[in-house]
Amino acid sequence: MPIAQLIRRARQPSIEATTLASFTARLLIILVLAVLALAVWRLSEILVLLFGAILLAIGLCAATQLVSRHTGIRRGLALTGVFILGLCILGGALWIFGSTVAAQLDEVIQVAPAGFKLFMAWITRHPYGQQLLDQVRGTNVMNATGWATSIVTATVGLITRGIGFAIIALFVAIYLAAQPERYRHLCLRLVPAGHRPIAEHLAGVIGHVLQYWLVGQLVVMVTIGVLTGFGLWLMGIKAAFALGLMGGLLCFIPFVGAILAAIPATLVALTQGPIYAASVICMYVAVHFVEGNFITPMVQAEATSFPPVLAILSTVSFSMLFGPVGALLAAPLTLTLMAAVEVLYVQQGLGEAPETDAMDSGSNEASLAQTR
């Protein structure tokens, strides 16, 4: 037998063993990735909670930087002052308006179902309305009160859960805002050394965009809440303060929040008369027209805005994935994904230049300023 053939036969078991070991290693890697993907999916609510905490931490860092720059005090003391001031403002608001808001929300829950029943009775008097209701499976016009109760309760529950979510995320955000550079360094350590500059640039862009969006959204929410509450009060609508507060808070959800806020207000007004309901609808349309065409363009930059269709689809998609909390965070989540696509795919993959200066030149400076 030739020597070469003997050598090949001697090496064949070792080659087969190497191939089996390589296959086993790859199979284990696939299984580990599958387990990690399943764990991430099962813990999706925790990840959304973490994202909300990061969003709050960005706001705390921005406020801390502002206080520290204008007062000259150290960052740690500035953060403590911002947190205490925020608690004082929140506690004072609850002390002054808490009982009023609770009473008016209870009134909304009690009155809105009657308005919904009147609306259903009005629809059934028209042939086309009755045909439309007949097309809906399981429609029970006589039990319309249950529909209204579920709608209003879901709206109030969305706000309540959002407040509870914010309280939990706030405590996590405090730790993130206290040592932002530490957590930033830990995240960058997970990225290969060759890609860390890109990852750092992406983090700067996301932080810059979310900071500007937070400031703009806060201005929009306060403006919408004041205008809505004042308009309802002028028209003599019941529970105007609570409905205005609901309108301001729900503006955190783009486009869909405006509709959710208008529904209970219209139902409450309908119990006072059809003219009141029509006036409320016109008032909400006018307020959001002013907000969309004048207020939002002034307080939000191009980098923090996105098309209405994308806003609606993202709100529906994230609400289906993560529930009400996903709807609340749909806008910042969408902005984060848009920033990632812009930096990783458009700029790095396609080699395109950034469209706006806010997404490129100012991102690293803003990100560094937030962490100081």
Per-residue pLDDT tens digits for 160-182: 666 777 788 888 888 888 888 88
pTM for the predicted model, two decimal places: 0.72
Q: pLDDT tens across 67-104, in order?
A: 888 888 888 888 888 888 888 887 877 776 667 777 77
Average pLDDT value for the chain: 76
- Measure the CA–CA gap between 240 and 119, rounded to whole angstroms: 20
The more confident residue out of 244 and 121 is 244
Q: Is the pLDDT of residue 235 over 50?
A: yes
362 pLDDT tier (thresholds 50, 70, 90): very low
- Measure the CA–CA gap between 61 and 48, rounded to whole angstroms: 20
Q: pLDDT tens across 309-345, in order?
A: 787 888 888 888 887 778 778 888 988 998 888 888 8
CB contact at 8 A, 331 and 220: no
Nearest to 231 by CA among 201, 269, 196, 267: 269
- Per-residue pLDDT at 109: 73
